[in-house]
Structure 1
């Protein structure tokens, strides 16, 4: 990848999408503590990943490896020469707009496991199919095979919950999605039973307000076939299992069921709250008179996904609202492949 060409494309895309200028330095690495590395097709995408993670102050995109190094405690005026790297800082202080990833990447393949592969006539057809599929987050079209691979990135973020008296947490109503048609999703549920099967990625197993929330996470995941919800611990587990291998075992406290399809997915659980806090990066507290007002602050903030409200049981005269800003944007695994065209619709 040519760093100079990349800078021209990135600068114009930033101005168009986010309306905010940002300095990007070619062939340099910014000093700072690297706390996470993600896959990324270009420096603009890398910068956007950094912008939506509160901890990230600056980034370095390694164009030869298609890796995005996110850094904290960054020294924004300290750089060293590293050919093939592009560095910059977060755009979190810019006016907020939704991130746009409409660029296609010729000669790059996203190698994440596809949930669906179809034969199509062109890359434009592949992009169109991805745009129309609510589960498609990015795609790769192989020109020689005429194969379109659709890839998934979770649509609703998941969190882990910590227990602490006096704290109340919930989700933003902005996460409500219009997916599916017709009747509201329901499914056959097995109480006090656990369906066996290989656990899917641990990242997709964690807290859920109730069994409806857990089922929604499964319905929104094209790889999920079975969900299991532990009532007492509010733990949701998603499984992939073939029908021929499916077995039922008695497990008190669990509710299990299959993924529901061809129905309207429910997001009523977004109105629920839970005692405790979420393990996520959060902003400094804002005074707030009530949980309802705290949720409203989160709903009205375009970057907020979750909130935690501190009552007077947490500490005297607390009444504080914590907003969680991190978003989990698509981060594909990228390799060079001359026969491929990839994109994020």
Structure 2
């Protein structure tokens, strides 16, 4: 028992748990299986919370599966270091205070704290805050004439909950890469997509879009160069971005990998519909039937998904270091 913060559809209990894990307010969930008595509630995933993070009461209900979010992870991990670029460094008296700082910083996903016994005196008591992408990213993008790709337009790619619309300022034929530190080079389908990625990175101050890549930059000086065809801009974190790029189709682009399902469809809209009706699907690529591609692959729609659960790039065993995760949502 608890307060329902959202109700969604899920294919199975593990899918419901993943939805709970990725919801900022969910502590635990209740999933009604396909054998649940009331047919209209089958496959229903209720995301819940309480002030304590624990259910107020527990009861046995046939054909219902319940469980907890996989996050937050309240444990601290001694002698463990999360190896990833940090975006903020500060000093705290202990690991718990470092975790509290991480929890109150909306960009922080996890941290590593260095104890007073660490051999490097300069890094003792250092709290390194690290971020993990909260928006789905395309792992790869390729220019393929026969393919068309797109996104699940029912998914939320917003960075901000503020309802005020952003002013759209795009600088055509402008390259900000000179005089900037490259934070990340990400596949992107449009300048709008690139702006979304820049806005999701806590250190991004500017971006340059050179199809099909988004250069996420931290400006070190005001230098820019004229470059035909390139588009640059700045992040928008405290207003509602134009998300029309999510509803567009992108002929000539393919998103290799990240496949969760392959279906045969008659056209591109059929593929988009299949993605929208498959909860984990974030984006898709379809091979057009009238293309020169080999007959067995014509008309096949590849549904794709990526996880946004916080995960360090690498974890190492290191003495006198403590790591952990943000407790945001607990």
Q: Please report the TM-score for the alignment, with normalisation by the length of structure 2.
A: 0.62
Question: What value does the CA root-mean-square deviation take over the aligned residues?
Answer: 3.5
Q: Within 5 Å, which residues of 2 pair with 1:153-302?
A: 153-156=132-135, 157-172=137-152, 173-174=154-155, 176-177=157-158, 179=160, 181=162, 183-186=164-167, 188-195=169-176, 196-198=178-180, 200-201=182-183, 204-230=184-210, 233-242=211-220, 245-275=221-251, 276-283=253-260, 285-302=262-279
Structure 2 matches for 1:318-329, cutoff 5 A? 318-327=298-307
| Cα deviations by residue, 1:21-69 (Å, 9 ceiling, x for unpaired) | xxxxxxxxxxxxxxxxxxxxxxxxxxxxxxxxxxxxxxxxxxxxxxxxx
Distance 1:97 1:296, change over 3 A: farther
Distance, in Å, in 1 between the alignment partners of 2:104 and 2:245 is 26
Q: Does the CA contact (< 8 Å) of 1:280 and 1:326 recur in 2?
A: no
**1:136 paired residue among 105, 108, 111:** 108
**Unpaired runs of 5+ in structure 1?**
1-16, 20-95
Pair 1:177–1:106, CA change in 2 (3 A): farther
Q: Secondary structure at the match of 1:285?
A: strand
Q: For the residues of structure 2 that align with 1:185 and 1:132, how far apart are their CA atoms?
A: 25
| TM-score under structure 1 length normalisation | 0.60
Q: 1:246, CA displacement in angstroms?
A: 2.5
Match of 2:58 in 1: none
Tell me if the contact between 2:112 and 2:128 (Cα under 8 Å) persists in the aligned partners.
yes
Does the CA-based 8 Å contact 2:112-2:321 persist in structure 1? yes
Q: How much does 1:210 deviate?
A: 2.0
Whole-angstrom distance in 2 between the partners of 1:125 and 1:265 = 34
Find the partner of 1:308 among 280, 285, 288. 285
Q: CA 1:320–1:333 in 2, change beyond 3 Å: closer, same or farther?
A: closer
- Aligned counterpart, 2:128: 149
Contact between 2:159 and 2:196, CA under 8 Å: does it hold in 1?
A: no
Deviations 1:59-100 (A, max 9, x none): xxxxxxxxxxxxxxxxxxxxxxxxxxxxxxxxxxxxx99754
The equivalent of 1:33 in structure 2 is: none
**Within 5 Å, which residues of 2 pair with 1:86-97?**
none
Structure 1 residue matching 2:144: 3-state secondary structure: coil
Report how far residue 268 of structure 1 moved.
3.5
Q: Deviations over 1:142-168 (max 9, x none)?
A: 354554321022233134332334422
Give 1:206 deviation, angstroms: 4.1
1:336 corresponds in structure 2 to: 317
Q: 1:140 to 1:263 in 2, by over 3 A?
A: farther
Q: CA deviation at 1:331?
A: 2.8
Cα displacement (A) at 1:338: 4.4
Tell me the distance in 2 between the aligned counterparts of 1:97 and 1:266: 34
